[in-house]
Structure 1
Amino acid sequence: MKASDLLVRCLEKEGVTHIFGVPGEENADFMMSLRGSPIRFVLTRHEQGAAFMAEVYGRLTGNPAACLGTLGPGATNLITGVGDANMDRCPLLVITGQGATKRQHKESHQVMDVVEMFRPVTKWAIDIRHPDTIPEIVRKSVRLARSEKPGAVLIELAEDIAKRDTEAVPMEPRRFRRPLAGERVLDSAFEMLKAAKRPIIIAGNGAIRRRATKQLRLLCEATGIGVLNTFMAKGAVGRDADYCLFTVGLQQKDYAVHAIDEADLVITVGYDLVEYAPRLWNPTRSKQVIDIDFLPAEIDADYHPEVEVVGDIAYSLRMLRARFEKQGVPDYDFSGQRKWRNRMIEDMAAHKDDDTEGAIRPQKVLWDIREVLGPWDILLSGVGAHKMWTARYYPADRPNTCLIPNGFCSMGLPLPGAIAAHLVHPDRKIMGLAGDGDFMMNVQEMETARRLNADITMVVWEDGGYGLIAWKQDNEFGTHTDLSFGNPDWLALAKAFGWEGEYVRKSTDLKAALQRAVAHKGPSLVVVPIDYRENPLLTKRLGQIGVTI
């Protein structure tokens, strides 16, 4: 077979089911090789949308999908989404075309060093130089993409290499068991837990792996230790559990951080420093820390754990629980944690019965979204002021049911991400939440959603500007630069793309509008004029929270 045929056969062997992208002439052989393959190619309207779709697919399944672009601008259009997937720990394959090898050494139309451009945003980037190496390259790429911590891998296939014949065959995928933490380090961690009076857990991105989530919940049910989740670890523990202390990660000092202040031991589980800098919760570097993760901790002056439990997270949590079951649970004092949990519950419900018109508070919107979506339904947030409100006011019941990009933090994910979520879970309600600035960055994928008849709902918060930047500038300088912009006629936009559309002006009408949108079979758009006067009010309120131990 020719090299492009072999690449497809290798991807099939690895269990790749979807490729999202925009092909070019340098991908022509690969696209022909995909014909007749069980791999589904999803044509998108922009390569960035393709990368976000592949990212969300990988996050929800644990298996990599691929995003595809041609050489030059097709490849560079992929970079933002690929960087987002890599820093948010989502397994993903990137497949790009390239000009023929006989013209790569010189100035040539659209030829750029794609491999070097992708090295900073991938775990590995490689160009195929000989067809016979394809089985090894694909096997290594998928293993790297899936291995902790997951991420993105680039494979480049030049147009002339794609045409060459080969007698190589795909390699058989073989899995390996993750290394396990040693008994001595588990004993050291347990001794610290026994000596503590007010331990607390920060659950990070690694804690939402399926087995890790189960063992974390079992440990907390056995001990009562409270859990704070980062933005990307929402749903690691259920919102109704007494030990759920909700979300940590705002720049201001929220209830969650005060709960850390009162703790005498912090246990981090799958915690990525990229999400929430340790200086924000350990500014004096005085906290005792146990780090439980798949890999050794990142080096940071504000994060220097006394004990690192390195290995499979689920196993480590299970072994710690076994020690508690054998030796008993100390008489911990969780009165402070219960207080902060109750304060947050009151805060989330404060505006559930709002009756306003013209602009609706963020708290009310998120309350109604939570009421409309079930425990297994999926909400995808973009990046902007709405991300901060979603992180604080939208509690999740299950892992991977609230997706918030918080490593690379790129705007533009919710719409393409919602399409991918629908492909993974067509039986669930899928809702994307975006600001007007975020939504317009990948608005072209409305056509993709219509073409696929994706059963998704997009909720757009309209404020006519980059609200988060204005919020931050106001906090620091007392004023902000001109960050305003115009918006389309939303209902005309929805109609033009064949979507259902609704503009909600009264808070009392919102829940019913959301229910109609999710009940509609196909894509729906709900636009809400948002009351961002709440942004400085939240900043002021967080600044007035007092701490008592």
Structure 2
Amino acid sequence: MEITVAEALIRCLEQENVELVFGYPGGAILPVYDALNKTTIKHILVRHEQGAAHAADGYARVTGKVGVCLATSGPGATNLITGIANAYMDSVPMVVITGQVSTGMVGTDAFQEVDITGITIPITKHNFLVKDPNQLPVIVKKAFHLASTGRPGPVLIDLPKDVAMEKIKFKYPKTVVLPGYKPTFKGHPSMVQQAGRIIMESERPVIYAGGGIRIANASPELLQLAEKINAPVTHTLMGLGCFPGDHPLFLGMLGLHGTKYANQAVTECDCLIAVGARFDDRVVSKISGFAPTAKIIHIDIDPAEIGKNVRIQLPIVGDVKNVLGALLPQLEKKENAPWLARIRQLKEEFPLHYDRNGCLKPQFVVEKLNEYKDDRAIVVTDVGQHQMWAAQYMRFKEPRCFLSSGGLGAMGFCLPAAVGAKLGAPDRTVITVIGDGGIQMTMQELGTAAEQKLPLKIFVLNNQRLGMVRQLQDFYCQKRHVAVDFQFNLDFAELGRLYGMEGYTVETAQQLEKLLPEVLASPKPVLVNCMVDPEENVLPMVLDGANINEAVD
């Protein structure tokens, strides 16, 4: 029995155990939407295609599964681009399916035609233009395999409308052959042995953990490593939650807005064990001053990242869970008492702090959210000052509890990603921390949340301006503020109520503390508009050209 390619696509998704897809229909993708009538896969209708990509991203980060999103050709496809780039930068497994004009019209500047495969070459792990109807099942299998293995990332399938309506005999392959694609999963034994020797000879080791720990589900191995060699652990923004935030060896985030004690510890260490991290510029700052006395061991599944930004003494290519599993037996228990005493001294000397006097402080809001949330709650942030305060003041005991746009820094990520996160983990509380700038980029997705009856807890840190840009203008433009103050800002509590939420505005610490337990315990969706100090800065801050241990505080 023959079925259409569009119907075959849906069957392929069923074979990949896809539970839901996020999308927005249109003419070129219409055959696929018609085929959705014949499946149990749930379709989530977003309010903008960018929301579909971010929601699929949020779903993937929380569940560890491949997120799937759909859009039509032309503007539908191009509206996905920010979300695709975001997933690519943060190594999130996604399969993106776009409609395309009929094959005979490709290249003619037809209505709603864009070369989406050409446009997305730099921001996808791979992409496909389906020309042969019979190849569709193989292409889908390849797409899911590529998206979810090695270093994960987004893969795009562009499906012309006429191909989608062709009929084929459906057969889904069990495996696929991808010549040239052979990720290294096990570290080279001699390299692992060398790493063991370097670590055992070290006196001041530090572990630097990134999002690769979460992706590889390697948090147990990371904890074992830290406790076996008594090494403090610092992390990237993507690594938040990969190591328990209440552990004595926890140092907090490293880099531009990292803790001063984490930055100083890395500066003084003699062995830096980088696991699933890529030494991006927000962490390293001035390369010549980064971990100047350390032998650096870099463990990552992507060989392109090793040695790309900093000098490496020992590279180990492989899945971090496998590599750490092989490394642990090479190590003996280490005490490092003088080094741990120095770490305690640094924590006492350089604690995070802020002036608690005056109006409602954004750090206070985040601290109180951390105090009242349960350990399994998922926190989703947007991008800006509030994102850094969340990274500094919130503590997580397990991975996949903190979602944020890291590499791309895409404002507008938060709300749709929270929708995807809640749909992926319906039994867990989802808290969003967002700025008044970011919420206005994708606030239409409140409609998606309302339609899906998602009880999100949304906290807007409202300083009535683009706070991070204003802060940068303070430091780099002699406080010449241009285009950062909102002359008009809507009432966000009322906005929440318009979307069927409970809406509140708080202006004092007392109001917030009184309201928080009620909000977090409520079964209903809630939006809290927190009117915070508009002049507050994120500190510490490493200025351009400075070493990471020279932060302004």
| Aligned positions of 1:103-142 closer than 5 A | 103-142=105-144
**Distance apart, 1:282 and its partner CA:** 5.1
1:516 aligns to what? Answer: 518
CA contact (8 A) 2:73 2:98 kept: yes
1:266 aligns to what? Answer: 272
1:170-225 deviation digits (Å, cap 9, x = unpaired) = 12258999621122111111111122110101101101236311100011122211
| Aligned positions of 1:142-153 closer than 5 A | 142-153=144-155
1:412 aligns to what? Answer: 412
Deviates more, 1:140-149 or 1:269-278: 269-278
1:462 aligns to what? Answer: 462
CA contact (8 A) 1:242 1:338 kept: no
**Distance apart, 1:534 and its partner CA:** 2.6
Alignment of 1:209 onto 2:215:
yes
SS across alignment from 1:162: helix
> Number of paired residues?
539
Deviates more, 1:513-522 or 1:279-288: 279-288
CA contact (8 A) 2:259 2:392 kept: no
**Structure 1 Cα separation of the partners of residues 244 and 328 of structure 2:** 19
2:323 aligns to what? Answer: 316
TM-score by length of 2: 0.92
**Structure 2 Cα separation of the partners of residues 257 and 536 of structure 1:** 16
**Distance apart, 1:341 and its partner CA:** 3.6
Letter matched to residue 290 of structure 1: I
Alignment of 1:276 onto 2:282:
yes
TM-score by length of 1: 0.92
SS across alignment from 1:184: helix
**Structure 2 Cα separation of the partners of residues 282 and 200 of structure 1:** 18
Identity across the alignment (%): 31
1:412-434 deviation digits (Å, cap 9, x = unpaired) = 11111111111111111110111
**Distance apart, 1:435 and its partner CA:** 0.4
CA contact (8 A) 1:275 1:407 kept: no
1:38-58 deviation digits (Å, cap 9, x = unpaired) = 211100000011110000111
1:434 aligns to what? Answer: 434
Deviates more, 1:107-116 or 1:316-325: 316-325
1:231-262 deviation digits (Å, cap 9, x = unpaired) = 11011111121111111132578321111111
Seen in structure 2, the aligned counterparts of structure 1 residues 417 and 135 have a Cα distance that, compared at 3 Å, is same
CA contact (8 A) 2:382 2:412 kept: yes
**Structure 2 Cα separation of the partners of residues 539 and 533 of structure 1:** 15
Letter matched to residue 504 of structure 1: V
**Distance apart, 1:482 and its partner CA:** 3.2
Gaps of 5+ in 1: none
Gaps of 5+ in 2: none
Letter matched to residue 95 of structure 2: L
2:164 aligns to what? Answer: 162
SS across alignment from 2:273: strand
1:72-123 deviation digits (Å, cap 9, x = unpaired) = 1111111001110111111011111111111113131111111111111111
**Structure 2 Cα separation of the partners of residues 342 and 269 of structure 1:** 27
Letter matched to residue 226 of structure 1: P
1:396-447 deviation digits (Å, cap 9, x = unpaired) = 2111111121111101111111111111111111101110000110010111
CA contact (8 A) 1:20 1:53 kept: yes
1:34 aligns to what? Answer: 36
CA contact (8 A) 1:10 1:171 kept: no
Out of 193, 197, 213, the position equivalent to 1:187 is 193
**Structure 2 Cα separation of the partners of residues 314 and 543 of structure 1:** 31
Out of 215, 227, 251, the position equivalent to 1:245 is 251
Alignment of 1:338 onto 2:340:
no
SS across alignment from 2:465: coil
SS across alignment from 2:29: helix
Seen in structure 2, the aligned counterparts of structure 1 residues 435 and 150 have a Cα distance that, compared at 3 Å, is same
CA RMSD of aligned residues (A): 2.5
SS across alignment from 2:234: strand
SS across alignment from 2:289: coil
**Distance apart, 1:324 and its partner CA:** 1.9
CA contact (8 A) 2:92 2:153 kept: yes
**Structure 1 Cα separation of the partners of residues 548 and 66 of structure 2:** 45
**Structure 1 Cα separation of the partners of residues 549 and 218 of structure 2:** 33
